[in-house]
Structure 1
């Protein structure tokens, strides 16, 4: 008896290429503001479920924070790029403070709506929000011990991605970590069935599925990343694009 073949891509969509032409609803300048705010609020839950930042903090950030804490009495500094509703930098600030580290976090976003929302929440010591591009901070001559981003890379065009990575190298004297989704049919199906339907009244499900289709695979990132950058896979269906500055 011939075994039945089960399709790993029941959607029929082509996941062999980035659907970079798609545009997420929350990126539209005229999208409904109340729905956008609910989306920002729900990101805190979604990112807890899928973004893996606790693992990133424990493996990549805390060891470096320990080293900096022992070497200097000055606070360490972190730049979060494309901070959206601000839940990831808030979580990083909380973990660092709980571990006894001094960490000053600057969270930037190009979208004034995101900055206004994040700034409207209760203030958190050591965390500030600002509307800016990474290039603005390069022009100001700023530098940070850490640079992070979450779900930013898939929003960018090829020239924008190249500029971000160049800015990251110029701005960072330590560790850069750009975390994003990894495109796959399984990730798309899992999000659509297991996570997306729970978040109503927002753009989470629709934009989340578009985000997966727009995202890079690990081999694609490795192919376009400049020399010195490293691509790692992280469960579930995620990539980390990292850079370590030369301390000499």
Structure 2
């Protein structure tokens, strides 16, 4: 029987890591990945995290939220709808190094005046100078190696006023098998299938997240397992840092 080794994070690259991917193929793949994320309840995890960080504030204040590695901006549009429904004044910024993904996001978000996009490398000095109330890292963290993750989270914590919300994959053989079966029935996009499986193997066990946590100078961490095989990690700024 085929054994799936999830003891360590894989170094295998995803097709979507290639920033030269563009046009109809990129648009269709981003759309399919967003549909999978929505079907499996991934968007709710991020939105619930935002609700938690905003529960002590006033909806009257303008809240700036950035999503790094935003792709086509799907979660930003979900947040915009949520903000409108709940009376929040949001400024939503999608940040991605792939200019082709940014162009798709701008086109899909044309009816959302509260959403803007910037094509930036999140390790660049230009990005480091930016500041937001909340920074989202939705299915982005697993693209990086451990040291990059630690350095990035330290940086994002400094750049945020209220906190950082990570929503990423649980590395699990069960998740791998179930996702493969799910794709066999519901997903006909080869890139989405292949990258989805690699993403799981690049994902995290709770011990990984706890190890990263120890390297970040923050007291308020909440790491919770969520269906379907996700971790929600909220790094909240201490009151005296707000």
Partner SS for 2:137: strand
The answer as to 2:99 corresponding to 1:112 is yes
Q: C-alpha root-mean-square deviation of aligned residues, in Å?
A: 2.1
Compare CA radii of gyration and give the structure with the larger one: 1
Aligned to 1:16: 7
Partner SS for 1:69: coil
Residue 65 (structure 1) shift: 3.2
Judge conservation of contact 1:138–1:167 (CA < 8 Å) in 2: no
Q: Identify which range, 39-48 or 23-32, moves more after superposition.
A: 23-32
- Please list the CA deviations of residues 124-177 of structure 1 after superposition, one character each: whole Å capped at 9, or x if unmatched: 12111111133445543x322211121111100223212210121111110211
Residue among 172, 181, 195 paired with 2:160:
172
Q: Which residues of structure 1 form unaligned runs of 5+?
A: 1-9
The 5 Å alignment of 1:70-219 reads 73-123=60-110, 124-135=112-123, 136=125, 139-140=128-129, 142-195=130-183, 197-219=185-207
The answer as to 2:42 corresponding to 1:52 is yes
TM-score w.r.t. the length of structure 2 is 0.87
Aligned to 1:242: 234
The answer as to 2:232 corresponding to 1:233 is no
Judge conservation of contact 1:138–1:171 (CA < 8 Å) in 2: no
- Please list the CA deviations of residues 12-60 of structure 1 after superposition, one character each: whole Å capped at 9, or x if unmatched: 12111111x20111212444643221111122311112253324423x3
The answer as to 2:57 corresponding to 1:68 is yes
Aligned to 2:33: 43
TM-score w.r.t. the length of structure 1 is 0.86
Residue 95 (structure 1) shift: 0.7
Judge conservation of contact 1:36–1:203 (CA < 8 Å) in 2: no
Q: Which residues of structure 2 form unaligned runs of 5+?
A: none
Judge conservation of contact 2:94–2:118 (CA < 8 Å) in 1: yes
